[in-house]
Structure 1
């Protein structure tokens, strides 16, 4: 006789497992570094929102996210934890090294999901977009931390907002939307900016030194975006709309 009960879709179970992982990390944080409750709740809110977005874009919740996307989901747990600490800025300033370590682990795992995707042949457009958007959000969160810590002025948010500005510009100029060629320059600039953000979080880096590092990161990022915009202008615009 059938019980009539149905288990949750596998993708939902994987997302719930991510929430469980966050709960465990929050418990460890509360035990060892007195992580405030408001930071935990904020982190949970960020991760729930991320899981909702994943579920809305995943084609079939009855199928697994796959090994590579599970690694990215694990990174999302760490990023949510770093983002949650923005709700406790005084605590974050006193535990800046802890914030930097967690963010650094999330960054270190960035290459793992790509390796897993190649190793198990499960690369997908969804996975690439998931990974890219997570990186962009982490960069914006780190910029916000530096602003709240007084390491930089509000201009530092431009580093984190540039990706979102580029996406917004696609709505005005559709020719900006489209694939870009593989670029070592783009990857190098990305590593430089994230490494600079992590370094500037550390207490040993004062505001003056942070300003120099972050200004260099912003300049390199602006240059890299300009190169990509130029490439899209030349290769993406309809022939009839190109300027003379």
Structure 2
């Protein structure tokens, strides 16, 4: 039920935002497709659970997914048209970012934290950063897409290096760096902010993200080698 509401919510709100922005008919289907990819990924995350249940925190995250999907939809016409992202993309992105603090608080308040909910939250965060990166392309340049694609590249690397799928310990610095990415991108998208300031903020975000993912890869690889070494010694003893 919650997934159906989220999908319907995007179809209605996404269509309204595009109509209000005066999007050309040629871009409408592409824009809606981009939004459906975002909310559809969130829906697939929920529908893939066993049992297929949603919590209060999941509902907040699904609302965030709808906001990100709408942001993606209004970003597409600006990319094809070569114009700036505009206020709607900024407002929707900022709302989705600010709401990120709510789903975690709700999960703790109602004791409904779960690995499945955590995955949904991370996927929504990654989608937001990717959409904001796309929105920032006309302002900063295509290199900004490296920020939005990095999490997906890390996930794809896990298909070839299974040890990269191992769970990492929670670290505050990782959360701070993760939160800084949308902040920097939103700053670059804000009208009136000098281009140099916005670009510098985004460059720092990319450097911090590279350092964070690099450290995580080293930590996961080192942990895998240690586990393999202990396992080999155990087999020799037996």
TM-score by length of 1: 0.81
Instruction: Provide the C-alpha distance between the structure 2 equivalents of 1:217 and 1:40, rounded to a whole number of angstroms.
Output: 27
Unaligned runs of 5+ in 1: 1-12
- Partner of residue 125 from structure 1, selected from 112, 115, 123: 115
**2:157 maps to 1:169:** yes
1:203-214 equivalent positions in 2, closer than 5 A: 203-214=191-202
Higher helix proportion: 2
Aligned to 2:54, what secondary structure does the other structure show? coil
How far has the Cα of 1:92 moved from its partner?
Answer: 9.2
Q: Decide whether aligned partners of structure 1 residues 235 and 199 sit closer, same or farther in structure 2, where only a CA change above 3 A counts.
A: same
Is it true that 1:60 corresponds to 2:48 in the alignment?
no
Alignment CA distance shift 1:48-1:14 (3 Å) = same
Query: Whole-Å Cα distance in 1 between the matches of residues 56 and 167 of structure 2?
Result: 24
Q: CA RMSD in A?
A: 2.7
Aligned partner of 1:49 among 40, 46, 65: 40
Q: Mean Cα displacement is larger for which, 161-170 or 86-95? A: 86-95
Structure 2 distance, partners of 1:42, 1:167, is 23
Partner of residue 73, structure 1: 62
TM-score by length of 2: 0.83
The structure 2 residue matched to 1:134, chosen from 104, 107, 124, is: 124
Distance change in 2, residues 1:151/1:31 (3 Å) = closer
Structure 1 distance, partners of 2:186, 2:23, is 20
Aligned length: 226
Contact (CA 8 Å) 2:188, 2:198: kept in 1 or not? yes
CA deviation string 1:34-66 (max 9, x = no partner)? 4665476336533562255135412234xx411
Residue in 2 that maps onto 1:10: none
Conserved in 2, the CA contact under 8 Å of 1:189 and 1:224?
Answer: yes
Contact 1:85 1:92 in 2 (8 A): no
Contact kept? 2:85, 2:189, Cα under 8 Å: no
Mapped partners of 2:75, 2:97: distance in 1 = 18
Tell me the CA shift for residue 178 of structure 1. 1.0
For the residues of structure 2 that align with 1:159 and 1:95, how far apart are their CA atoms?
A: 17
1:9 aligned partner: none
Per the alignment, do residues 241 and 193 of structure 1 end up closer, same or farther by CA in structure 2, a change over 3 Å counting? farther
Give how far 1:185 is off: 0.8
* Structure 2 residue runs without a partner (length 5+): 233-238
Please tell me whether residue 18 in structure 1 is matched to residue 6 in structure 2. yes
